[in-house]
Amino acid sequence: MPDVTVLDHPLLRHKLTLLRDKHTTTAQFRQVAREVSLLIAYEVTRDLPLEPIEIDTPLERMQTEHLAGKKLCIVPILRAGNGILDGMLDLVPSARVGHIGLYRDPATLQPVEYYLKLPTDVADRLVILVDPMLATGHSAVAAASRLKQSGVTAMKFVCLLAAPEGVANFTQAHPDVPVFTAAIDRELDSHGYIRPGLGDAGDRLYGTR
Ligand code: URA
Does the annotation mark 121 as catalytic? no
Residue among 136, 141, 169, 194 to mutate when testing ligand 1 (max atoms within 8 A of CB) = 194
For the cut 90, the answer to whether the pLDDT of residue 206 exceeds it is: yes
From the candidates 3, 45, 104, 124, which is the catalytic residue?
104
Instruction: Give the count of alpha carbons within 13 A of 202, CB side only.
Output: 9
> Per residue in 8-67, pLDDT tens?
999 999 999 999 999 999 999 999 999 999 999 999 999 999 999 999 999 999 999 999
Q: What is the pLDDT of residue 107?
A: 78
Query: d(Cα 29, Cα 69) in Å, to the nearest integer?
Result: 34
Asked if 126 contacts 159 with a C-beta cutoff of 8 angstroms, the reply is no
pLDDT digits (tens, 9 = 90+) for 99-124: 999 988 877 778 899 999 999 999 99
136 counts as catalytic: no
Give bridge partners of residue 155 from the DSSP assignment.
127
Ligand 1 atom at minimum distance from 202 CA = 3
Instruction: Report pLDDT for 108.
Output: 76
Domain boundaries, the chain: 4-47+70-206
Fold of 4-47+70-206: Rossmann fold (3.40.50)
Active site (annotated) includes residue 108: yes
Is 5 annotated as catalytic? no
- Measured from the CB, is residue 197 less than 6 Å from ligand 1? yes
Dihedral through CA 41, CA 127, CA 195, CA 168, nearest 10?
-130
- Could you report the per-residue pLDDT of 116-145, keeping only the tens digit for each? 999 999 999 999 999 999 999 999 999 999
Answer yes or no: are the C-beta atoms of 81 and 206 closer than 8 Å: no
